Amino acid sequence: MNSMSFKIMNSYTRKRNYFRKVVGFMHTKTNSIKGKRDNGEGSIRFITKRDLWEVRLSYGTKGNGKPDRRSDYAQTLPEAKKLLKRMIKERDAIINTNSQSILMRDYYYMWLDNKREKIKENSCIRIRQIVETHILPEIGYVKLGNVSYNDCKKIMDKIAEKELSFSTRKKVYEALNACFRWALEKRDILFSPMLGMEKPTLNTDNIPSPKEMLPLKTREYALFSEEAIRCYKNGVSVYRLGWLFIFMLATGIRIGEALALKWTDIDFNLKEVHIWQTTVLTELKSNTEKRKYGAKVASRTKTHAGNRKITLNFTALQALAELEKVTGKFEHIASTKTGVLISHRNILRTFHGILRALKLPTRGLHNLRHTFASQLFEKKVDIKIISALLGHSSVQITMDTYIHFIEEQTRKAIYALDYLANNPEDIQPILSTTTITEQHLPSSSPIFPPPTPM
């Protein structure tokens, strides 16, 4: 070994021994200061190949969501420590300290005002309802800069304890995460308190399953139809818009689509209705502090496939004929006595009144749509046709929504094999038809209870 190599090795050995003495350990290529610092405190490490001390510090998050990490170098460890302090001071000067003192109650409304320009009005109203119901009661009077991970986790844990739906948990998580992400982009905070928070998933055991579908059964369908169109002794309908429910059961349209429907959208000659718009939730201007909501017509449907034409059967035409006697002089088929667009809440109140009168379980209006779909599945209608009638954006959505009906049809097909095995003489007639109906099955099959007369 020549003298030059000895000097280089001796220099490296001295630095290694010094580093071990001061820091406590040493890596082969880079040497980090012992112990993990908290978020935002930066780090110092010695780079052997460059014979320099590297100072690294996070400046938060860039506008594109990626981490903004910066580094600089010093000759000695004391210089590196001074450099780190100077970088922290420069970084903190960038962060908007005034915003950190804003109460979360005020900051959330600032975020909602910004979000209102990018999303639909009814979506913004629902987000605000989530924020005011689940988030602001917990951290509304906490300053933006003081909100911690534990505060956010407490909110999520409370929702879990209340056993609220997966949809509610997901919306609360998204409202928290989006607000703090916006604060990061504006440089109002350095780190999001939602960092490391697990997003709710539907597969975990702690999350309740979605609300069960409750389509009207055969007997319930008959009772509901009879009650909806019931009249007093003088001939006046008990439920002014009761025939609207019959129309929805016969067409499967959404409640928003039904309320937005105009008489001009109906072609009685071709016996079809054109669905091309829907009603959405809107906030009515009020001088009082209490917010008031109403409905307005939006020139769109929920999905692109929702813009469709539906052929009207006899029941639907009869329902429209009866509704025309009540609202024929107004623009919409469902309106108040003064011709004003009626709200979803008013129709829901009437619907629940009919269920209470019949002592049937309470359910949402969307179950009328599920009833329509279940009847089509019972009649062995092709799933592509069902999807088109419902206005779903894809057949997959129809399959995912009504998977239990599809499974039931599968079970019926399996039970049909028992009948074919015991009645071989009926094989040809059955195979000549496109579907296997209930009459081909034994009456003792538990899948088919005796139908109730309408």
pLDDT one-digit tens code per residue, 89-137? 777 666 555 677 888 998 998 998 888 878 887 788 889 889 999 999 9
Supply the pLDDT for residue 125: 85
With a cut of 70, say whether residue 41 has pLDDT above it.
yes
Q: Within 10 Å of residue 445's Cβ, how many Cβ atoms?
A: 15
Please list, in sequence order, all residues whose beta carbon lies within 8 angstroms of the beta carbon of residue 7, skipping any fewer than 6 positions away. Answer: none
Considering the chain, what percentage of its residues have pLDDT values greater than 90? 41
Sheet holding 43-47, edge to edge: 30-32, 43-47, 52-61, 67-74
Fold of 218-394: hpI Integrase; Chain A (1.10.443)
Please list, in sequence order, all residues whose beta carbon lies within 8 angstroms of the beta carbon of residue 359, skipping any fewer than 6 positions away. Answer: none
With a cut of 70, say whether residue 238 has pLDDT above it.
yes
Task: Say if CB 160 and CB 206 are below 8 A apart.
Answer: yes
Give the integer Cα–Cα distance in Å for 228 and 182: 49
Task: Say if CB 207 and CB 200 are below 8 A apart.
Answer: yes
Supply the pLDDT for residue 288: 46
Task: Say if CB 274 and CB 265 are below 8 A apart.
Answer: yes
Q: Over the stretch 381-431, which tens digit does the pLDDT of each residue have?
A: 999 999 999 999 899 999 888 888 888 777 777 777 776 666 655 544 433
Supply the pLDDT for residue 204: 40
Positions of CATH 1.10.150.130 in the chain? 104-185
Look-up: residue for tokens 């609220």? 164
Q: At what angle do helices 218-228 and 344-358 cross, to 10 degrees?
A: 110
Q: How confident is the model at residue 16 (pLDDT cuts 50, 70, 90)?
A: low
Supply the pLDDT for residue 297: 82
φ and ψ at 231, to 5 degrees?
-120, 160
Closest among 300, 316, 295, 414 to 368, alpha carbons compared: 316
Q: The tokens of 22 are what?
A: 């001061």
Least confident residue range of 8-22, 99-113, 169-183: 8-22
Positions of CATH 1.10.443.10 in the chain? 218-394
Supply the pLDDT for residue 207: 35
Task: Say if CB 306 and CB 257 are below 8 A apart.
Answer: yes
Supply the pLDDT for residue 174: 93
Q: The tokens of 302 are what?
A: 């929920």
Give me the numbers of helices (H) and strands (E) for the chain, helices first please.
18, 9
Please list, in sequence order, all residues whose beta carbon lies within 8 angstroms of the beta carbon of residue 393, skipping any fewer than 6 positions away. Answer: 303, 304, 305, 306
With a cut of 90, say whether residue 156 has pLDDT above it.
yes
Q: Over the stretch 256-311, which tens digit does the pLDDT of each residue have?
A: 999 999 999 999 999 999 999 998 777 766 544 566 777 778 878 877 888 999 99
Burial of 149 (0-12, 13-18, 19+ CB in 10 A): middle
Supply the pLDDT for residue 203: 52
The DSSP letter of residue 252 is -
Least confident residue range of 129-133, 166-170, 369-373, 392-396: 166-170
With a cut of 70, say whether residue 436 has pLDDT above it.
no
Does residue 427 sit in helix, strand or coil? helix
Residue type, 319: A
What is the pLDDT averaged over residues 142-161?
Answer: 91
The H or E element containing residue 129 is: helix 121-130
Q: 243 or 5: whose pLDDT is higher?
A: 243
* Average pLDDT taken over every residue of the chain: 80
Task: Say if CB 423 and CB 417 are below 8 A apart.
Answer: no
Closest among 8, 183, 41, 185 to 104, alpha carbons compared: 183
Helix residue ranges per DSSP H, 35-96 = 77-94
Supply the pLDDT for residue 121: 78
Task: Say if CB 152 and CB 142 are below 8 A apart.
Answer: no
The dihedral formed by the CA atoms of 23, 27, 32 and 34, expressed in degrees to the nearest 10: -40
Supply the pLDDT for residue 392: 92
With a cut of 60, say whether residue 215 has pLDDT above it.
yes
Q: How confident is the model at residue 226 (pLDDT cuts 50, 70, 90)?
A: very high
The DSSP letter of residue 411 is H
Task: Say if CB 235 and CB 356 are below 8 A apart.
Answer: no
Closest among 266, 269, 252 to 331, alpha carbons compared: 266
- Indicate the class that CATH gives domain 104-185: mainly alpha
With a cut of 70, say whether residue 26 has pLDDT above it.
no
With a cut of 80, say whether residue 67 has pLDDT above it.
no
Give the integer Cα–Cα distance in Å for 427 and 280: 53
Give the integer Cα–Cα distance in Å for 143 and 316: 57
